[in-house]
Structure 1
Amino acid sequence: MELCFASNNPHKLTEVADVLGPSFTIRTLADIGCTDELPETTGTIPGNSAQKAHYVFDHFNVACFADDSGLEVDALNGEPGVDSAFYAGGDKPGETRSHERNIAKLLKNLDGQTNRRAQFRTVITLVAPDATGSPTEHQFEGIVPGTILTEPRGTEGFGYDPVFLPDGYTQTFAEMPLSEKSKISHRARALAGLVGFLSRKES
């Protein structure tokens, strides 16, 4: 089966390809000739995920799935949440995103906090044509609970992986090999829902 994944993020693409396996051919935004900046203006993780998938389907007429993810920290009332990628800036023209600055801001905001509980959350939206060619939408959610450490550990992964310790593990996401992270990550759990749905649809 061929699907477009609405991303050009190489880290995400590697994770997705690892989880989906050889039964699926994944096309990137670049593969379908999409150079547009996809809209992410809904203010919610599920909303942004759906917005991106519908944009690609509407403009390029291809079955597409899009993800949106965020780190939700209890002591910060769910921050950075939908703004995780831009927590320390990078959402304005001329600014660049920085994982390091995002982590530094997160740790500063948690300084002195005893409650360091958090969860990674991913919502994947699949938009594909029905029998009449009209778009149909399906959403799949993946959540991994854990704890925010006081300093980064590990060099693998991306984003907040170096400071996120998933429940039941002694390694951060950034200390795990991709093969291990791909089994338990929030994105992997959402993808499992997508794969299950597509498999049932094909059978």
Structure 2
Amino acid sequence: MKLVLATKNENKVKEVAQFLAPHDIEVVSLNEFPDFPEIEESGETFKDNAIIKASEACMFTGLMALADDSGLEVDYLDGLPGVYSARFAGEDKNDSENNKKLLELLKGVPAEERTARFKCVMAVATTECFVYTTEGVCEGVIAEKPRGEEGFGYDPLFYLPEYGKTFAELGLEIKNKISHRARALTGALDIISDLKIMMADEEEE
């Protein structure tokens, strides 16, 4: 089965493709559709934005589409950056600037008050115009400085006490088992597997 992942972020494509490959699911990104218009993520929640992205990618490409909207929720900041995670420091800023702003806002805050979670909502849109969603959460703490070279986004700051490492230090093999995206992907895989069975049954009829 072939599906389009509604993103141009090759790091994200790599993670998802690696996760789905053993299940005979080929993942292509929006980079293979150069005429695809920019998606306006106008939703107020991760779920809203995931549905918007999956639906638009499906309609444009004619393929089943998988989209996620994910971000970091910091308790001390009342859930920020939340849906603004990718543009926390401004529309034209990058991961480094976002991390810098987060650390500035948490300067002097003790470890026990730096609790946070990565949250991911995934949406699967079918060519029959049905959309299904699933959610994954991973709890952690915001480190006082970046650690690790792997991953992207806030990974160098997201510390998991049970591993004694940040997401950027874990490596893909472990991250793809415990991350918010991995947990949401597990749910999405269940949805896609059920859809494959339904499609096979319809073909037999």
Deviating beyond 6 angstroms after TM superposition, the runs of 4 or more aligned structure 1 residues are none
C-alpha distance in 1 between matches for 2:34 and 2:145 = 40
Q: Secondary structure at the match of 1:174?
A: helix
Q: Which residue of 2 aligns with 1:74?
A: 75
Deviation (angstroms), 1:152: 0.8
Q: Secondary structure at the match of 1:111?
A: coil
Contact preservation (8 Å) 2:36, 2:60 = no
2:102 to 106, 111, 115: 106
C-alpha distance in 1 between matches for 2:108 and 2:31 = 44
C-alpha distance in 2 between matches for 1:6 and 1:152 = 28
1:60–1:17 distance in 2 versus 1, CA, 3 Å: closer
Structure with greater helix percent:
2
Contact preservation (8 Å) 1:144, 1:166 = no
- Sequence identity, in percent? 40
TM, length-normalised to structure 2: 0.90
- How many residue pairs get aligned? The number is 194
Matched ranges for 1:174-185 at <5 A: 174-185=168-179
Matched ranges for 1:131-146 at <5 A: 133=128, 135-146=129-140
Q: Which residue of 2 aligns with 1:8?
A: 8
Contact preservation (8 Å) 1:142, 1:186 = yes
Q: Which residue of 1 aligns with 2:118?
A: 120
Q: Which residue of 2 aligns with 1:38?
A: 39
| Structure 1 unmatched runs, 5+ | none
C-alpha distance in 2 between matches for 1:194 and 1:6 = 14
Deviation (angstroms), 1:56: 1.6
Question: Counterpart of 1:70 in structure 2: which amino acid?
Answer: G
Q: Secondary structure at the match of 1:56?
A: helix
Q: Which residue of 2 aligns with 1:19?
A: 19
Say whether residues 1:171 and 2:165 are aligned partners: yes
Question: Counterpart of 1:84 in structure 2: which amino acid?
Answer: S
Q: Deviations over 1:69-117 (max 9, x none)?
A: 110000000000000010111x2xxx3x311111111011011223000
Deviation (angstroms), 1:183: 1.0
Q: Which residue of 2 aligns with 1:151?
A: 145
C-alpha distance in 1 between matches for 2:185 and 2:117 = 17
RMSD of equivalent CA atoms: 1.4
Contact preservation (8 Å) 1:145, 1:167 = no
C-alpha distance in 2 between matches for 1:88 and 1:40 = 17
TM, length-normalised to structure 1: 0.90
| Structure 2 unmatched runs, 5+ | 198-205
Question: Counterpart of 1:124 in structure 2: which amino acid?
Answer: M
Contact preservation (8 Å) 2:132, 2:191 = no
Deviation (angstroms), 1:200: 3.0
